[in-house]
Amino acid sequence: MLFLVLSGLLLLVAEPLAGMPSDELEVDPQPDAALMTRHAHYADLGEIKAKLEERRDGGHLHVAFSAYVNSHPNTPSIAGHVVPFGGLITNVGYGYNTRTNAFTAPYGGIYFFFVALDISKDFGGVKLLRNGQYFAAAHNDYRENTHISVGVTMTLNARDVINVTYETTGGHVDSGISSVFTGFKLA
Ligand X SMILES: *[C@@H]1O[C@H](CO)[C@@H](O)[C@H](O)[C@H]1NC(C)=O
Residues 86-115 that bind ligand X (CB under 6 A): 102
Would you count residue 62 as binding ligand X (CB under 6 A)?
A: no
* CA 51 to chain CA centroid, nearest Å: 14
Binder to ligand X among 43, 129, 136, 177 (CB under 6 A)?
129
**Torsion of the alpha carbons at 64, 70, 76 and 79, rounded to the nearest 10:** -20
Would you count residue 161 as binding ligand X (CB under 6 A)?
A: yes
Alpha-carbon gap, residue 73 to 56, rounded angstroms: 38
Binder to ligand X among 131, 146, 157, 169 (CB under 6 A)?
131
Q: Smallest distance, Å, CB 119 to ligand X?
A: 18
- Among candidate residues 103, 144, 153, the one with its CA nearest the CA of residue 123: 144
Q: Smallest distance, Å, CB 106 to ligand X?
A: 15
Alpha-carbon gap, residue 137 to 126, rounded angstroms: 6
- Among candidate residues 64, 6, 58, the one with its CA nearest the CA of residue 31: 6
Nearer to ligand X, 14 or 129 (CB): 129
Backbone torsions φ then ψ of 131, nearest 5 degrees: 50, 40
Binder to ligand X among 14, 64, 82, 92 (CB under 6 A)?
82
Total residues contacting ligand X by CB under 6 A comes to 9
Q: How many CA atoms lie within 13 A of 111 on its CB side?
A: 27
- Quick one: which segment of 14-22, 157-165, 168-176, 178-186 binds ligand X (CB under 6 A)? 157-165
Nearer to ligand X, 85 or 123 (CB): 85
Interaction site with ligand X (CB under 6 A): 81-82, 102, 129, 131-132, 161, 163, 165
